[in-house]
Each structure stands twice: as C-alpha cells, then as structure tokens.
Amino acid sequence: TVAAAYQKLRTRRRKAEEIALDDVLPAFDCDGRHFEPMDDWSDRIDDRGMQAELRQALTDAIDALPPDYRTALVLHDVEGVSNSDIAEALGIGLPAVKVRVHRSRLFVRKRLSEHLKSA
C-alpha cells in the first residue's frame, strides 16, 4: 500500500541519519585519560542568538537519540527522576539506566561539539 511505502522511505531516511553510539564513546589511553581534550564552549554561548541556536541544536541532538536512550536522558536530566525510579518505570535494571543516561550524554555532547565547530 501507499502508507507502507511511505513508512519504508521514512525508515530508510532515519537510518541514514543515525550515528552509532560506539562512535561517540570516549577513547582512553593506558592512564585512563581521554585521548582528545574536552571542548571549551564557555566563550561561545554568551550571545543570546547563540543561546537560541544552541537550544535548537540540543533539541535536535536529543531527538536524534534512540528512543530508549532519549527516554532515560529526558527522565533523568530534564524531569529529575531518580535512576531507581526510571529503572522501575522502564522495567530495566539500575545499571542499564546509568549506561543509557551516560551514553546519551556522550552522544549529545558529541553532536553539540560538532555543531559548535561548524558555527
């Protein structure tokens, strides 16, 4: 049917935009330090126009997360729900919640870094 064809096209488009979470996980040297230094964004976010642009980039980065990761991140960082309550609500273990929140933050951080480098 036409609806099925549209859904297939949407799925293909969405898959092309995905970034693997393994690509955003930090790499450490033998001493446990990051290979790459963290970006300093403080001097770039003072302008009001930049704040609106950054807010949109943040929203886009969160929207690009896989649904399970997005749910954990929004519940934890936006809504302020505790990890144990998130685990209970989602029916997963506490370590899984911590991993999802951590990986989500790494993903969002990488997206924002890419956005700020291109700006």
Q: How much is the pTM?
A: 0.60
Nearest alpha carbon to residue 110 among 76, 67, 75, 60: 60
Please give the chain's pLDDT, 119 residues, in tens: 566 666 666 665 555 455 665 565 666 666 666 566 656 555 555 566 677 788 888 899 999 999 999 999 999 998 999 999 999 999 999 999 999 999 999 999 999 888 888 76
- Helices 83-90, 94-118: crossing angle, 10 deg rounding: 110
Q: Cα–Cα–Cα angle for 32, 84, 27, nearest 5°?
A: 20
**How many whole angstroms separate alpha carbon 38 and alpha carbon 44?**
14
Domains of the chain: 2-118 (1.10.10.10)
